[in-house]
Every structure is written in structure tokens, then in C-alpha cells.
Chain A
Amino acid sequence: MIFLQLFYVFFLIGLFTIGGGYAMLSLIQNEVVTTHAWMTSQQFTDIVAISQMTPGPIGINTATYVGYTVPLNLGYSKLMCVLGSFSSTLAVMLPSFIIMLVICKMYEKIKGDGTFKSVMTWIRPTVIGLIAAAAILLMDKENFIDWKSWVLFAAAFIIGLWKKANPILIILAGGVAGFFLYYPL
């Protein structure tokens, strides 16, 4: 049963996402590409690109899209794909729901807790490592087909770091560059 599997995997991802959307991407990539091999890293990168360009949180968008693509890759019908995207989206939010409701009830107590603070000082660098690993794992032969890919990567990286440019504009620029570099005119 693919939805139950998707539900379980995305519930775990939702539970362990600390540090926002990019941390969630690295967890999704680990489960879906590395562990279960439900899709290629190329497919995953495309999904991330589209999720980044569409409205809403990137983690939710990616969960919805991955939930649709996995049953499709495994040869299920379109209806099953819709159910898959529904179950992944719901599952990824469910842990937040439970945890946030608990937090709402003990809001003041958690805020000043020393243990919580010290855990966060070590979790933060861990999350940075997590996201770095996702970037390293995506630098494979599927996404970087030749030297031009590396030039595009370097250019986007420098612009992103220096200018804090809008990610959507960077993706659009990448698309335009891709068209001129790779379309057989």
C-alpha cells in the first residue's frame, strides 16, 4: 500500500523537520531518493524547482508534488496519485499539529526552559549540516550534465549569496539560460 507508506514516511519527515523548508527538503530527498529510490535525483530537483516557483511553503509544495509523483512512477492511476499527494500533505502537517497544540498549552513554560535552549544550540548546526548534505547529494551527474551546469551553479550561487536575489527570478534566469545553452537550434 503506497499511501500508507507515503503517509508513514511523510509523518516522520514532518516530525523531524527542524529548521524550516530546506531542512525538510533534505529529509524528503533522503527518504524518497536515497532510501526508497521512488524517484531519481533529477526528478526530485525538478519538483523542488516547481515548488519554489509556486505559492505556498516549499516543504508543503514538495510533499504534495512528491506524493503525486511516487505513485505515478510506480505505475498507479491518476486517482491514486491524487490520493498519494493528499496523504503526503496531510501526514507532513500532522506532527506539527499535535506538537503545536501541546506547545500552545504550555507556552510560557517552554519559553524560558534552559534544556530546550541548550538543545537548540546544538540542533542548529546539525540542521546546517543536513541542508549542506542535501546540496552535495544533488550535485550528481543527472543535475550537472556538463561544465556549463557548473558555471550556472556558480553564477546563481554568487548572486544568491551577494545580492539576496529573489529565488524565483534566479530559477527563471536559469530556465532562460538553459533554453539558449541546450536547445538544439
Chain B
Amino acid sequence: MTKDNTEVPVETSEAKKKADRKADRQFYWDLFRTFSKIGAFTIGGGMAMIPLIQKEVVDKKHWINNEDFMDMLAISQSAPGLLAVNFSIFLGYKFKGVKGSIVATIASTLPSFLIILLIAMFFTGYQNNKVVSAIFKGIRPVVVSLIAVPVFTMAVQSRLNVWTGLLAAGVACLIAFLKVSPIYILLTVAVLAIAYSKYKENKEKKEDSK
């Protein structure tokens, strides 16, 4: 009896740790399940995923509030990479640090990875089938139009003026007709934009000091 009494505090702290670990594991599992569900059921790309993530994470699970969600969305959109991936990394990190971000990212991409892998293995045998080949002859021009449409919607959304419009047209010509790598173009534009903003900053400072 006395032995038991002395060990009680030790036991409770260990039990608490155990319970914490269990809760942790439960949370990771919950995180994995939520994000893999989102990954498996959103068709139509990253933007289509956002309302689903919002519903799960903000409305249902109350893991974060809506304002934080919107801020994180804006940052994930302007950072390099894919929106859905960036967002999973960001949310996972917010909940559970690096480990959480790894769990959320794997969960959101694993379903589509497996589905594509299955299709890739299966479809390669059927490409020469007459029906499949006829269907794809109709699909190809339609897919090109799906890539052409966002060019116009994005141009309207970002309110291109003469200069930015010329930039967009020039970039398209450089890549499509002169075969310049988009990577060099992005780098050049970024460097010039940084230089221009620094130059403007300096000029404003000088004018202020006058």
C-alpha cells in the first residue's frame, strides 16, 4: 500500500504523458483523414479544394478561425508552388509544426498520386484502341481551350494596363516563338521588378529629404 502511494505522482505524470501522446496520435490521424478526404474528393484542381478545406477545418473542426484562414490563403497563393500543396503545408505547420505539415501534405496528395498511378498503368495499353483514340481526338482541342480560357479571365481579374498587357504578350511570344525558357523570363522579371522598386524607394527618400 505504501509503495503504491509513493508511486502515484510518478504514475499520473506518466499516464498524462501517455494520454498526451495518445491525443497527439489521434490528432495526426484526424489531420491525415481530413486532408486525404479533401485530396480524394476534389476534382478540378487547387482552387476547388479551398472551400472544402474551409468547411472541414474552420466550420466543422474549428481548428482555426476564418480570418487566419483567409490570410494564410493569400500567402499560399503568392508563394511559389501549387496552392493546395502550399496551403496544406501552412495549415499543417500551424497545427503541429514541421511534422504536422508533412502529415497534411502527404495526406492531401496521396489519393491523387495513387489514382494517377493506376490510370497510368492501365491507360497505356488502351491508347491504340480505336474508340479511345477517337475520343481523345475530340478531347485534345478542348483541353487546349481549357488552358486558353484562364489567360483571358486572369487578364481581366488582374486589370492589365498597356504596360502589363505588353509584358504578358511579349512573354508569350518569347516562349512560344523564340523558345526562351519561362524560368529565365521569371527570373529576369523578378530581378528587374526588385531593382525598379528599390530605385523608386530611393527616389522617394531623396524627394522627402528635399
Chain A interface (Cβ < 8 Å from any Cβ of B): 12, 14-22, 24-27, 30, 34-35, 42, 45-46, 48-61, 64-65, 68-69, 72, 78, 81-82, 85, 89, 92-93, 95-97, 99-101, 103-104, 107, 110-111, 114-116, 118-139, 142-145, 149-150, 152-154, 156-157, 160-161, 166-168, 170-171, 173-179, 181-184
How many A-B pairs have beta carbons closer than 8 Å: the answer is 358
Contact, CB under 8 Å: B120 / A49: no
Contact, CB under 8 Å: A178 / B83: no
Answer whether residue B6 sits at the interface, using C-beta atoms and an 8 A cutoff: no
Answer whether residue B3 sits at the interface, using C-beta atoms and an 8 A cutoff: no
Instruction: Please tell me which stretch of B11-19, B25-33, B43-51 contacts chain A, meaning at least 4 of its Cβ atoms lie within 8 angstroms of it.
Output: B43-51
**Which residue of chain B is the closest to A145 with respect to CB atoms?**
B137
Contacting A at CB under 8 A, from B83-107, are 83-86, 89-90, 93-94, 98, 101, 105
Contact, CB under 8 Å: A181 / B137: yes
Chain B residues, CB < 8 A from A95: 80-81
Chain B residues, CB < 8 A from A55: 39-43, 111-112, 115
What are 29 A-B contacts defined by CB distance under 8 Å? A16-B186, A17-B82, A49-B139, A49-B140, A49-B142, A50-B123, A53-B43, A54-B116, A56-B108, A57-B49, A57-B82, A72-B124, A93-B105, A95-B81, A100-B81, A111-B71, A111-B75, A119-B197, A126-B189, A129-B172, A132-B168, A132-B172, A133-B175, A153-B145, A157-B145, A160-B146, A167-B146, A168-B44, A183-B130
Chain B residues, CB < 8 A from A14: 80-81
**Which residue of chain B is the closest to A131 with respect to CB atoms?**
B151
The digit string for B146-167, where 1 denotes a CB below 8 A from any CB of A, is 1111111111001010001101
